[in-house]
Chain A
Amino acid sequence: MSTQLLTEQAAVRPRLGRARLVATLGPATMLAGVVWAFLQPYRITLLHPHGQGFWWLAIEPPLLVVLAGVAFAFLVAPGLIEDLQVHEEEQR
């Protein structure tokens, strides 16, 4: 393998790591919300909805965490990863 290829691979590796890190943020947040729901199921009012008011049914913290992860993963991360890849191409 030529030294030029080795140098290019070494330069690309950490950059790929950055894209992977950004891609992981949303799913990791969603996973945290799901794990929390399993640890404290009583905070999911939908599991025992009888006699509960609007707010107890609409605002449930573990689901809000999942929602934040979904919002980041689908609205922010894809464009950011795309721009990161374009930026890396330009740097080469």
Chain B
Amino acid sequence: MLPPAEFVHWMFATGFLLLGLCLLAHAIVGDGVWRRRAWRAYLWPGLAFAMGVLMWPVMVFFTNSTIHMLAHGSWAQVMMLAGASELGLVRGKLHNRYWHLTMPLAFAVSGATFLIHEQNSWLFARSAFLHHMIGWTVIVGALFPLVATFRPRSALWRSGLALTFVVLSVLLYCDRDTAPIFGHLSPLAGEQHR
């Protein structure tokens, strides 16, 4: 009893929303307060890692072409890499601050994969528009974790990273099977659903 694909997008959107809220709170209170409780220090890196792990069954059960499978597989890998690096830094197993660069790397790879694996133009259907939109959002959003790596005390860049996840969740919530976007739906896109 597999859920339709859009439900999986909505569940991941909820995960990204929670991730964004945690990162925003972390940016507001700073490292010292956020890490006062051990479980909280692991919260958002653990969530990012878990979402990477959960992307594997999505790749196996919900992709219907090679390019989709490769895209979901690459998202799974970079999300796990970014989550695991942050977990390693929090735990003290990793010391070099440049491990934080796995986050902008994950953003850049994910954004590029979104754009590469979408074969249709922006207004072909809602999913095509969202793929383009998410791809560019994530690529531009990579700037926030990139700068935050070199300016770790700046709440501005860390908040930007958090809000990028919130925007990503909003875009994923907008996904609704075959549906028009701004009134446009290509006759080649298939029958319109809800």
- Is the CB–CB distance between A22 and B29 below 8 Å? yes
- Is the CB–CB distance between A68 and B14 below 8 Å? yes
B21 at the interface (CB under 8 A from A): yes
- Is the CB–CB distance between B43 and A80 below 8 Å? no
Name the interface residues of A63-92: CB closer than 8 Å to any CB of B.
64-65, 67-69, 71-72, 76-77, 79-80, 83-84, 86-87
- Is the CB–CB distance between B28 and A65 below 8 Å? no
- B173 CB contacts on chain A under 8 angstroms: 61, 64-65
Compute how far the CA of A55 lies from the CA of B13 in the bound complex, rounded to whole angstroms: 16
Majority DSSP secondary structure for residues of A touching B = helix
The size class of the interface chain B forms with chain A is 20 to 34
Among A22, A76, A87, point to the contact of B36 (Cβ < 8 A): A87
Compute how far the CA of A36 lies from the CA of B1 in the bound complex, rounded to whole angstroms: 28
- Is the CB–CB distance between A29 and B17 below 8 Å? yes
Contact with A along B10-41 (1 / 0, CB 8 A): 11011001100110110011001110110010
- Is the CB–CB distance between B7 and A59 below 8 Å? yes
Contact with A along B27-63 (1 / 0, CB 8 A): 0110011101100100100000000000000000000
B12 CB, nearest partner CB in chain A, Å: 11
The size class of the interface chain A forms with chain B is 20 to 34
A25 at the interface (CB under 8 A from B): yes
- Is the CB–CB distance between A67 and B14 below 8 Å? yes
Compute how far the CA of A54 lies from the CA of B17 in the bound complex, rounded to whole angstroms: 23
B190 at the interface (CB under 8 A from A): no
Asked whether A80 and B3 contact (CB < 8 A) given A25-B25, A72-B22, the answer is: no
Compute how far the CA of A86 lies from the CA of B25 in the bound complex, rounded to whole angstroms: 16
A20 CB, nearest partner CB in chain B, Å: 10
- B29 CB contacts on chain A under 8 angstroms: 18, 22, 80, 83-84
Compute how far the CA of A72 lies from the CA of B34 in the bound complex, rounded to whole angstroms: 14
B4 at the interface (CB under 8 A from A): yes
- A76 CB contacts on chain B under 8 angstroms: 21-22, 25, 40, 43
A28 CB, nearest partner CB in chain B, Å: 10
B131 CB, nearest partner CB in chain A, Å: 19
A21 at the interface (CB under 8 A from B): yes
Compute how far the CA of A18 lies from the CA of B167 in the bound complex, rounded to whole angstroms: 22
Asked whether A80 and B34 contact (CB < 8 A) given A22-B25, A59-B3, A59-B7, the answer is: yes
Given contacts A25-B21, A29-B17, A83-B33, list 4 more A-B pairs with CB under 8 A.
Answer: A26-B21, A55-B7, A67-B14, A87-B33
